[in-house]
Structures are given as structure tokens and as C-alpha cells.
Structure 1
Amino acid sequence: MSKETDIEQIERTNTTTGSFNEVSSTDMAVVHYTKFPNRWAYVREAIKEPAAEFFGVMILIIFGAGVDCQVTLSANTGVAASQKGDYLSIAFGWAAGTALGVWVSGGISGGHINPAVTIAFATFRDFPWRKVPKYIAAQVLGGLVGGLIVYADYIRAIDIVEGGRGNRTVPGTASLFSTYAAGYMTNVNCFFDEFIGTAVLLIIVCAFTDQRNGPPPAGLVPLALFIAILGIGVALGLQTGYAINPARDFGPRLATAMVGYGKEVFNFRHQYWLWCPILGPILGGLTGIFLYDSFIFTGNESLINRPDARARAAHERARNQERQKPPAGVAELDV
């Protein structure tokens, strides 16, 4: 058998098994790679986008809820004052969680890690609606798992603050995982606070991803988001805890309901969990992207920039003119 025949046979074998191999001869080397080297590779290809969203939100909650627990619980557990942290520590923790969550998921799924972002981009941009349910499910599940991980890590400190394993209070230590508004806030104030925070976030996200508007250098979008979330936290975080992300609130809220806080996490202020940290961010996100696309964005992937009837008619007339016969003599050329 010739060298060429040997190499062809190895090519077929490598393509079937999906492995890296190198064949060397005096004058050639052939390297092959198959995208699906085993059965798990097929499964991974099917789930990698929602998996990226899952891990992105999980990391967000581990850093965010983790810093909430560290700063708040340390005040009652005998920790030295220098190790307690303060509100600025909380703002930095949530900003770091957002940046790192986007860094983990951005290259695979786009780094939404927020149902408000997913719904806004599906409504006004070209993000496929068929992906929305699995993205949101993965985001909420990531928030749930992240909340459970942080609770398991800080359970002894929570026991000390609450006075025992059987004691769990709402808001109390439940507020370490999900958002609960300050007592002086009215329902309208609460909704507006989450609405405006998410609208600002989406305007910033749209600017980051707009190639016509000086976006951050490649790979630095997470750093830009770190600055954005830090700014929103220190400017708008006092009154409702700046959820600005339904999965960031609902996933950990489910976790608290499961570990002993009960249905009170949902009954607080007449289903506060629904109309403030879920509906507020979703409507705020839609408003933010609508404003950016209406006044700044010029890309044709936006719903705002789709051709109207007059533009379509003009385009059709131009196409018809292009179909007219070419100048005399050109049609006879043998092209």
C-alpha cells in the first residue's frame, strides 16, 4: 500500500473517531480534528448556550449574595471590624460577579445572564425567540444553585444571627439573597426604582455592543460592565437593592423558600417579588433598548430600523430598473 493510501485510510479513521492525530512522512504531515469526538460532545453542543447562561448567573450570585452575607453577617458573629466591609464592598462584589459572569458566558451565549436583557434583545434585535425560554430557564436555575451554594457556605453564620437553625426571618436574613424594599418606599417608588435602573443598564449595554459608537476593545466588555454595575449600585442601590435582573432575584428567592424561609418570601408586600424585581426590570429593559434604538442605533438588526412601506417600494423600483436590458450589443457577448 502506498504512502498516499495509508494517509487516506488514517484520515477516514480519524474523522470517525474524532481524535487529533499526526501522520508524518518524508514530505508531508496531516492533522485531523473532529468536532464531535464522542457522544458527550453532541450533548454539549446542544446545551452549551444555556449552560453558559447557567454558569454566568451562578457566578454572579456566588459573588453577589456572598458579599451580602460577608458584610451583613460579620457584624453579629464576632468578626474583626477590619474584615466586615461596608456598602461599597457590596457594590464591588455585585459588579465583580456581573463582570465575571459575563466573561464566562459571553463568548458562548452572548453573556446575557439577565432575562430582561434576553427579552429586550429578542423584542428589538434579532435574537431568536426560540432561544428565550431555555435562556431564561437556565438563568433562573443558575440563580437558584448559586443561592443554595452561598447559603450552604454561610449557614453557621446565619444560625448565629437568627438565633438557631429553626429560625429564619423575612426580610431578615432572606434579604441577603433576594431584594426587599426599604419600609418607607411605596409600591410605585419600588417599581420605578427597578424600572429606571434597568433602563439605564440596557442603554449602556446597547452602547457597549454598538460597533458604530466606540465600543470597548475586544474582550473588555466585562470590565465595562463592572464599571456600569458599580455605578448603578452606588447611585441606585439603597432603596430596593437594585435587582435589575429577574433571575438574580427570583432564583435565590426560590432557594430561600426551599431552605426554610417558606412562602413568606413570596407573600412579602403583596407579591412584591413579581411586580418589582421581575416586571420592573423587564419593562425597564424594553424601554432602555427602545430609547437607544430610536435615537442612536442605526443597525438594520433593530426593529426600529426595519424598512417601512415607502422604503420597500423604492427598493423594489430600483431592482426593477436593474433588470432592464443592457445596452445594445452587450447581450450578445459570450460571457
Structure 2
Amino acid sequence: MSVELSPVDRLKQSAAIRNPLVRNLLSEFFGTFMLLFIGLTIVMQFILTHEKLNTWININMGWGFAITFCVMMTSQTSGGHLNPAVSFLMVTLGKLSVPHFFLYSIVQTAGAFIGAFLSYLVYYDQFQKFSGDRRVLVGALGSAGCFCSFPGTHVSNLTAFFDQVAGTGLLCLFLCVIVDKRNKIPDMLHPICFGLLLIMIGCSMGMNLGYPINPARDLGPRLFAYFIYGKEVFTYHNNYFWIPVVAPFFGAVLGGWSYHLFVGIHIEDPDIDEERPVQRMIEDGEKSDRAEHKRLIKGDNH
């Protein structure tokens, strides 16, 4: 008696992608798209209501929930990088090839672009209410911050660069903590930990730029914003745009390898820890045998 397949099972039989690379690229594209679609609409609710509907902590928590569910969704395929800086760290750790890194980065940025486009469609009427047909970059009627980061005039590009190195460094340092098997954090808790990590970074590193810490998260929506606001999205603040694209790569390597240098390589492997009790039993047994042998010798002498 044959069992009737469900619609999902039939779809899997006919359309499931067998090539691991293609499957991972599709996962990274869709995961980054969802992350930006959710994240940008959270920011839009804050900016387009003149900061009345959301608060800064709401934004941080919203992004934290977004990364939790998007990583949860993609972790069994690509691993849920959703960030070229994270993918680059994986290259330096020997877990991703250089050609695959470039492909990951392209699809992540493309997913972020589409996420920006759809979030704009969702709140198009709110943009119209906010500033009419005008699309202003920054200021009282500025709305470009809905898509990507723009530092205040008092924040230098040097500070912005350091901000992105530090923020992404924190992200990748604790990412390595979470995924290190020797820390015994259950896999099912990893997405939740990533979400809490992002909330922590937002609460501590958001004042200068709003913690983009993800080249795809900033560049993809910035490319979309170009079609709305024009070239100023790239030229503003002495061509600031390249900083949240480049600096996170330095931060990712610095943060990830700092964990391994200061902590990770000093953790003893589980198999060594498991052997220790056995080794101690053997050593204790040998000591006991030697003591018994000495006792017998003394007894014979008497």
C-alpha cells in the first residue's frame, strides 16, 4: 500500500536542489533578504513616525529577533552567515573557500537590496506622508537613514571606521564563542544567542552609526537608496559609504581570532578531558601497586 505524499514532499522530490553550493547560495540570499526586510521596516517605523512609534531599544530587540529567526531558518543549509564579514572570517578559519566567499557576498548583497525594495513598498505611503514627493537624505525630513547608515556631522570618518571595526569585532568574537563546540552551547540555542548578541551590540555600539556591522546590510540598501535619493548616498560625509563596507572585514578577523588567541586555543579538547579520569585511575592503580610491593618487601625482611 503506497503512502500518499504531501504537497511539500512532492515539491521536494521535483524541485529540491541537490548541488550544495547552489543550495547554500539560495539560503544566504533568502535569509539576508528576510533579515533586511524585517530590520528595515523596524527602522522605518522609528524614523517615519518622528521617533514616536518605536524606541531605540525596540529597534535593537527587533533586529535581535530578526537575526534569531533568520539564522534559525538558514542554519541547516548554509550555516546562516547572512553577512559577508562573517563569511570572510570563515575563510580565514578554513571553513569556506575564497571563491565561495565571493559568491556568498554577492547573493547576500542582492538579498539585502531586495529586502530594501520590498520594505519601501510596504511603507511607501508613509514616506509620502513624511515628506511628500521629496526624498531628503538627512535632517528633519531626512529618510535615507531608513535604508543605510549616515554619521552625524560631528562624527569623523576615522571614528566611523574604528566604530565598525569594534562593532563587527564584538559580533565575530562572540560568534566564535557560541559556535565553539568546546563551550558546549547546544546548537538549538545558537540562533537565540546570536539575537541576544545583536541586541547587546545595538545597546552599546549604536550611537555613532547605528551599528551596520555587515557590508551587505549597508551596501545593498544603499544601492537601492541611490535610485530614490541620488548619488549623495555615496558622496555624503566625504564619501563615507565605503567604511561600513570595508571596515567590518577587519573587525571580523580581529574579533574572531582574538577569541581563539586569548581563549579558544587554551581550552582543552573534550576527548582529552574524557581521557583524564581514566589516566588518573591508571596512575592511582600503579601507585597503589608500588606501595603494596614495598609493603610486602618490608614484611619479608622482618
Range into which the TM-score falls when normalised by the shorter chain = 0.7 to 0.9
Contact 1:63–1:96 (CA under 8 A) maintained in structure 2: no
Distance 1:108 1:75, change over 3 A: same
Distance in 1 between residues matched to 2:191 and 2:256, nearest whole Å: 19
The gaps in structure 1 that reach 5 residues or longer are 1-20, 24-32, 300-335
Q: In the alignment, which of 254, 265, 276 is matched to residue 287 of structure 1?
A: 254
Q: In the alignment, which of 281, 298, 305 is matched to residue 265 of structure 2?
A: 298
Q: In the alignment, which of 213, 218, 236 is matched to residue 183 of structure 2?
A: 213
Root mean square deviation, CA, Å: 2.3
Query: SS at the partner of 2:188?
Result: coil
Distance in 2 between residues matched to 1:98 and 1:86, nearest whole Å: 19
Query: SS at the partner of 1:102?
Result: helix
TM norm structure 1:
0.72
Q: Check if 1:66 corresponds to 2:41.
A: yes
**Structure 2 counterpart of 1:121, one-letter code:** M
**Structure 1 counterpart of 2:192, one-letter code:** L
Equivalent residue number for residue 141 of structure 1: 110
| More RCO (CA 8 Å, sep 6+) | 2
Q: In the alignment, which of 157, 171, 176 is matched to residue 187 of structure 1?
A: 157
Q: In the alignment, which of 220, 230, 236 is matched to residue 268 of structure 1?
A: 236
CA deviation after TM superposition for structure 1 residue 44, in Å: 7.0
Query: SS at the partner of 1:125?
Result: coil
Contact 1:245–1:278 (CA under 8 A) maintained in structure 2: yes
Deviating beyond 4 angstroms after TM superposition, the runs of 4 or more aligned structure 1 residues are: 33-36, 42-46
CA deviation after TM superposition for structure 1 residue 34, in Å: 11
Deviations 1:245-285 (A, max 9, x none): 00110111111112x211111111222111x2111111100
For residues 150-161 of structure 1, the aligned pairs below 5 Å read 150-161=119-130
For residues 47-62 of structure 1, the aligned pairs below 5 Å read 47-62=22-37
CA deviation after TM superposition for structure 1 residue 183, in Å: 1.9
Of the structure 1 ranges 45-54 and 118-127, higher mean CA displacement relative to structure 2 is found in 45-54
Contact 1:56–1:100 (CA under 8 A) maintained in structure 2: no
Query: SS at the partner of 1:170?
Result: coil
Query: SS at the partner of 1:75?
Result: coil
Report the number of matched residues: 258
Equivalent residue number for residue 101 of structure 2: 132
CA deviation after TM superposition for structure 1 residue 45, in Å: 5.5
Paired-residue identity, %: 29
Deviations 1:93-144 (A, max 9, x none): 1111111221111110011000000011101232222311111111001100
Equivalent residue number for residue 223 of structure 1: 192
Distance in 1 between residues matched to 2:76 and 2:265, nearest whole Å: 24
Distance in 2 between residues matched to 1:286 and 1:246, nearest whole Å: 14
Of the structure 1 ranges 120-129 and 227-236, higher mean CA displacement relative to structure 2 is found in 120-129
Q: Check if 1:176 corresponds to 2:146.
A: yes
Structure with higher helix content: 2
Distance in 1 between residues matched to 2:148 and 2:70, nearest whole Å: 18
Distance in 2 between residues matched to 1:289 and 1:100, nearest whole Å: 23
Distance in 1 between residues matched to 2:194 and 2:137, nearest whole Å: 31
Contact 1:62–1:97 (CA under 8 A) maintained in structure 2: no
Equivalent residue number for residue 225 of structure 2: 256
